[in-house]
Amino acid sequence: MHPLLPLQAAAKEEDREMVVNLINSRERNIEMLNSGYEALLEITDKNYETVLSLSVLENQLDVVERLIAEDPSYQNGSVRKSSDLRRLIYLAADKGYTDMVKLLSRSYEARKDIGHTGQTALHAAIIKRDEATVINLSRDANKCLVNVADNENWTPLHYASYYEFDSILDVVHVGYKAEEHHSMNGTQWIPTPLHVAAKEGHTSTVKKLMELLPADLYVAADSLTGQNILHLAVLGNKKEMIRHILKNCPEEQIDKILNQQDVNGDTPLHLLIRNGFFVPEVIKHEKIDKMIKNKQYWTSFDMLYFKDQITAEQFGCLTSVERTA
């Protein structure tokens, strides 16, 4: 008899004690040792189910925890093992096994292009733009995943903002706690999802996030650059985004978002004129302070001469300013 068959049988019969005893007895089982214990865990039954997947399907938490702990390839970040765990998380989520989802997610780590580690299955589903899985993993039974951050302290809402996944923002924003995720974490700035979307130039995402998130995040400044989302919209030459921010920013925040200075002392207007980027809604805004000086003692309109030569865009900006003077 194959040495793994008793394990498979025990898992199918939901006999937790038998499975654990069989695992514990492996040191006394010469055939198991000779076959390679980790390799044995890879063997499937006729339905291509391993002992681990059978235990997940039967919601055997203690058995699954023991199996993962006993298989070192689940601990070393194996890409294939990460894929296996992701599939099992989806299976557990489909069955509503909340505790199983939590257990498997602790061992899951995706290797994706965003360059972050510590991602959960929900982060991975967002990266893949798998809306059905995102909704499944975000429902009440699995809502704990919505607020789980990766090792860079990015939540699923950050990922949705980065990837311009607007259709799931309503689902994943529920667990976002701004006070935990947009402050300094030691020496590392944790951007708000609004900062992430604005920096990537995702106008539609910024619009949606402004409906969902508290207004104080509109004026939150990156502690490394000192820039708010209006600075970022200007730097990205995003006219529609700029107009939407100004139109929807509450009255009590508008003065700050327009006149906030970054680490160089530049307001959004400094950057706008420096780049020759004419947006009347900014230049002519009644709350704009045109006399603020940056750290080079330049006002915003001095930035017309920031470069040796005035560009056509800057000339158009200057002409427009003269007309409104």
pLDDT confidence band for 30 (50 / 70 / 90)? very low
Q: In the chain, pLDDT over 70 holds for what percent of residues?
A: 67
Mean pLDDT, residues 111-126 taken together: 73
**pLDDT confidence of residue 150:** 85
**pLDDT confidence of residue 2:** 41
Summarize pLDDT for 205-241 with one digit per residue, the tens: 999 999 999 988 888 888 778 899 999 999 998 999 9
pLDDT at 83 over 70: no
pLDDT at 318 over 80: no
**pLDDT confidence of residue 210:** 95
**pLDDT confidence of residue 325:** 47
Mean pLDDT, residues 81-89 taken together: 72
Q: What is the 3-state secondary structure (H, E, C) of the chain?
A: CCCCHHHHHHHHCCCHHHHHHHHHHHHHCHHHHHHCHHHHCCCCCCCCCCHHHHHHHCCCHHHHHHHHHHCHHHCCCCHHHHHHHHHHHHHHHHCCCHHHHHHHHHHCCCCCCCCCCCCCHHHHHHHCCCHHHHHHHHCHHHHHHHHCCCCCCCCHHHHHHHCCCHHHHHHHCCCCCHHHHCCEECCEECCCHHHHHHHHCCHHHHHHHHHHCCHHHCCCCCCCCCCCHHHHHHHCCCHHHHHHHHHHCCHHHHHHHHHCCCCCCCCHHHHHHHCCCCCHHHHCCCCCCCCCCCCCCCCCHHHHHCCCCCCHHHHHHHHHHHHHC
Question: pTM higher than 0.75 for the full model?
Answer: no
Q: In the chain, pLDDT over 90 holds for what percent of residues?
A: 30
Query: Is 312 or 265 the better-scoring residue by pLDDT?
Result: 265
Between 76-90, 195-209, 262-276, the lowest mean confidence (pLDDT) is in 76-90
